[in-house]
């Protein structure tokens, strides 16, 4: 299913039709999606993922039950029905993390139905979430990360110089400031960290904002991009634009990183998000404070930062002893 723009009208209504369900259930599914997008302010990517998860589940139910499910059939679902869906998804090599997100989406929809007085779907509470193996991220070596920020690394590519400068600036924000790719591409032109501005305010998960320092080499990379960019960038519009002047797609940066990791002999784990891992890991290895790194990354909990930066238990306990008021009692 294509991405959803809650602000659109006719096209949006057609996209949200959920033809896999009977009329009453389809209408409630549409109302739930609109509620997520407009009232709960869930990110567009999450709305799209939840829409896809519910669509897949409704398609499964149509085949599983022999007819399109309505509200009554949905409320009568048993845990075995949900387990059958998850088993089907696993047979398609879907990982536990995606299954967990799908289950979260379905539980959210079930709660919506209950709030609206459309019945209860107890099956979604009874089924356990799949276990996820917590694998540690693999940071990119410091020199390789710096090479990826260097325009010269891609000098042999048949691409316009301003595009190479743009990609280098974005990658600089990922590694030099620890931003998520969505955060870097969400920066407006007026907020560009250039000149005397040595920090940038970004909007992360949950629409939470944070201020992140931007080191001089990254600021200079952004300035080089702005000098060479052939387009006039309005203050309120995105700082980084695509080849035709529209918003820059994250996929373009992913492809740029793929090309560079081939040139630098890096493994497939060297992704744009791995640059954020590397920012945190290299800071920590250099003696950075765990709490400060947590704030820079925009993590809600220290445990998330611990996994993110491959911190061992000894280092975490050291940070706890230094910070917790009862650690010395």
From residue 74, give the alpha-carbon distance in Å to each of 29, 33, 78, 282, 318. Answer: 12, 17, 9, 50, 50
Q: Which residue has the tokens 């009874």?
A: 126
Contact (Cβ atoms closer than 8 angstroms) between residue 169 and residue 181: no
DSSP-derived letter for residue 248 is P
- Active-site residue list: 180, 205, 273, 276, 299, 308
Please state the φ and ψ torsions of residue 224, each to the nearest 5 degrees. -65, -40
Q: Which residue has the tokens 């791995």?
A: 274
117 Ramachandran zone, left/alpha/beta (phi>0; psi -120 to 50): left
In this structure, what is the dihedral angle of CA atoms 73, 78, 80, 82, given to the nearest 10 degrees?
Answer: 60
In the numeric block, which tokens belong to residue 196? 């005397």
Q: 3-state class of 200 per DSSP?
A: strand
Describe the crossing of helices 290-297 and 272-285 by its angle, rounded to 10 degrees: 160
Long-range contacts of 149-155 (CB under 8 A, 24+ apart): 149/175, 149/176, 149/217, 149/218, 149/221, 151/224, 153/260, 153/263, 153/264, 154/256, 154/259, 154/260, 154/263
In the numeric block, which tokens belong to residue 51? 């829409």
d(C-alpha 258, C-alpha 279), whole Å: 19
């Amino acid at each position: 299913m294509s991405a959803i723009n809650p602000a659109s009208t006719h096209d949006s209504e057609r996209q949200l039709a959920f033809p896999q369900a009977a009329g009453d259930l389809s209408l409630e599914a549409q109302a739930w999606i609109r509620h997520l997008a407009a009232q709960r302010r869930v990110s567009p990517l999450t709305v799209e993922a939840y829409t896809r998860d519910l669509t897949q589940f409704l398609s499964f139910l149509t085949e599983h039950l022999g007819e399109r499910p309505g509200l009554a059939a949905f409320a009568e679902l048993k845990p075995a029905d949900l387990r059958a869906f998850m088993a089907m998804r696993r047979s398609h090599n879907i990982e536990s993390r995606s299954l967990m997100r799908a289950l979260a989406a379905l539980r959210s929809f079930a709660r919506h139905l209950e709030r609206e007085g459309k019945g209860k779907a107890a099956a979604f509470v009874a089924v356990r979430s799949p276990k996820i193996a917590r694998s540690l991220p693999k940071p990119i070596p410091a020199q390789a990360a710096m090479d990826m920020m260097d325009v010269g690394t891609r000098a042999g590519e048949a691409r316009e110089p301003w595009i190479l400068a743009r990609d280098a600036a974005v990658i600089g924000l990922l590694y030099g400031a620890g931003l998520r790719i969505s955060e870097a591409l969400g920066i407006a032109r007026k907020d560009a960290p250039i000149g005397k501005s040595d920090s940038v305010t970004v909007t992360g998960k949950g629409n939470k904002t944070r201020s992140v320092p931007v080191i001089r080499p990254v600021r200079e990379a952004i300035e080089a991009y702005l000098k060479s960019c052939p387009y006039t960038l309005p203050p309120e519009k995105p700082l980084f634009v695509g080849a035709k002047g529209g918003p820059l797609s994250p996929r373009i940066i992913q492809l740029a990183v793929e090309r560079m990791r081939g040139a630098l002999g890096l493994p497939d784990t060297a992704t744009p998000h791995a640059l954020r891992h590397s920012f945190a890991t290299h800071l920590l290895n250099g003696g950075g404070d765990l709490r400060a790194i947590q704030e820079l990354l925009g993590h809600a909990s220290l445990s998330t930062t611990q996994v993110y930066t491959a911190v061992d238990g000894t280092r975490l306990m050291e940070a706890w002893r230094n910070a917790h008021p009862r650690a010395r009692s």
